[in-house]
């Protein structure tokens, strides 16, 4: 879906949507899955979970999602930090490092629910004494060269930017700058679930899309350029997502040794010391996921 179509959708109001109803595959039925299938099946599980428990909070979903995908393979590690600084410092729930050989791509992600019959404007334009949460997310990402993203938990209905992979998905992702442009930097309007998810692609596209799988270390740049205009020049009064010391937001030519060690250690006393070191390097972080990319 093009950006002009998205803007027309916001201007026209809520589009009609009929959710699909199919039984989700049971989590954990298959072993030795690659990252693509792990992410896909986790998203399908959340789809069914939300149908059964529509009042689920995003914190519960995030904890389950990250813990479960990290237990399916030794190529994904998850570390949960204290969350008391989230709203005031980074505007994010967790950092995600995806390793491609010696290089890596860094994501900083904020999770939200995408609910039926709900205006999401206040959820996106949430603020505290430090300012707008979405601006905290973008600005903290820029300072540490992360690519800022949103993860939305909800049911898609064919309005997403990649509809081929959206069926039975319960998790969707998008660029925080896209959300800022479509919702925050324009006059106040109602933001229904369908218009919100029209900015998104399914979560598992991060691992399943040929744009990522076929290009290795620059795959995320290709994926985000294709769907979100990565990163794009900031408009008037928009946060700038272009750190001067990086080739592109989120990309690092060399993965720090600390990140490699955390992926290998996963648990134990050594990991605790390294977690404290990570928090001293990135004090705005509230959780950490590390994934060694594969082309399963």
pLDDT in tens, 186-214: 999 999 999 999 999 999 999 999 988 77
Q: Which string of b and e fits 116-128 if b means at least 16 CB within 10 Å?
A: eebebbebbbeee
Q: What's the alpha-carbon Rg for the chain, to the nearest Å?
A: 18
pLDDT value at residue 104? 94
Residue 237 has pLDDT above 90, yes or no: no
Confidence band, pLDDT 50/70/90 cuts, at residue 23: very low
Q: What's residue 20's pLDDT?
A: 33
Mean pLDDT of 97-116: 94
> Which whole number is the average pLDDT over 64-80?
93
Instruction: Tell whether the model's pLDDT for residue 68 goes beyond 50.
Output: yes
Task: Calculate ∠ Cα 255-99-170, nearest 5°.
Answer: 140
User: Residue 49: is its pLDDT beyond 80?
Assistant: yes
* pLDDT recorded at residue 159: 84
DSSP assignment of 23-83, as one string? PPPPTTSS-S--HHHHHHHHHHHHHHHHHH-TT--HHHHHHHHHHHHHHS-TTEEEEE---
* Helix, strand, coil tally for the chain in percent (to 5): 40, 15, 45
Q: Write phi, then psi, for 148 (nearest 5 degrees).
A: -80, 135
Residue 149 to residue 112: CA distance in whole angstroms: 11
Integer Cα distance of 146 and 149 in angstroms: 9
The string of pLDDT tens digits covering residues 122-157 is 999 988 778 899 999 999 999 999 999 999 999 987
Global confidence as pTM: 0.85
- Tell me the pLDDT of the chain averaged across its residues: 82
Please list the residues that pair with 109 across neighbouring strands: 94, 149
The backbone region for 221, taken as left when phi is positive above 0, alpha when psi lies in -120 to 50, beta otherwise, is alpha
- The pLDDT assigned to 213 comes to 78
Task: Identify the band that residue 285 occupies on the pLDDT scale cut at 50, 70 and 90.
Answer: confident
| 256 vs 8, more confident | 256
Signed CA dihedral, 20, 9, 195, 251: sign only: positive
pLDDT at 236: 57
Residue 19's pLDDT is 35
Instruction: Give the distance, in angstroms, between the CA of residue 241 and the centroid of all CA atoms in the same chain.
Output: 16
Q: Is the pLDDT of residue 174 over 70?
A: yes
Say what the pLDDT of residue 183 is: 95
- Note the pLDDT of residue 215: 63
User: Quick one: average pLDDT of 160-182?
Assistant: 90
Beta bridge partners of 77: 290
């Amino acid at each position: 879906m093009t950006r002009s179509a998205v803007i027309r959708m916001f201007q026209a109001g809520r589009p009609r949507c009929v959710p699909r109803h199919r039984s989700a595959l049971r989590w954990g039925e298959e072993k030795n899955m690659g990252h693509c299938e792990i992410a896909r099946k986790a998203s399908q599980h959340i789809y069914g979970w939300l149908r059964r428990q529509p009042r689920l909070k995003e914190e519960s979903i995030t904890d389950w999602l990250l813990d479960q995908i990290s237990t399916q393979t030794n190529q994904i590690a998850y570390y949960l930090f204290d969350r008391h600084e989230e709203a005031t410092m980074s505007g994010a729930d967790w950092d995600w490092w995806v390793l491609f050989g010696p290089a890596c791509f860094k994501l900083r992600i904020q999770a939200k629910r995408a609910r039926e019959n709900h205006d999401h404007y206040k959820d996106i334009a949430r603020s505290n004494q430090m300012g707008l949460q979405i601006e905290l997310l973008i600005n903290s990402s820029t300072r540490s060269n992360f690519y800022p993203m949103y993860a939305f938990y909800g049911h898609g209905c064919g309005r997403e930017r990649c509809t081929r992979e959206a069926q039975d998905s319960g998790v969707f992702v998008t660029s925080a700058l896209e959300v800022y442009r479509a919702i925050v930097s324009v006059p106040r309007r109602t933001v229904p679930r369908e218009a919100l998810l029209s900015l998104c692609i399914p979560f598992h596209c991060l691992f399943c899309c040929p744009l990522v799988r076929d290009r290795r270390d620059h795959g995320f740049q290709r994926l985000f350029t294709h769907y979100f205009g990565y990163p794009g020049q900031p408009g008037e009064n928009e946060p700038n997502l272009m750190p001067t010391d990086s080739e592109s937001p989120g990309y690092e030519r060399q993965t720090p040794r600390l990140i490699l060690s955390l992926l290998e250690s996963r648990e134990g006393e050594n990991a605790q010391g390294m977690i404290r070191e990570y928090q001293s390097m990135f004090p705005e972080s509230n959780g950490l996921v590390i994934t060694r990319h594969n082309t399963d």
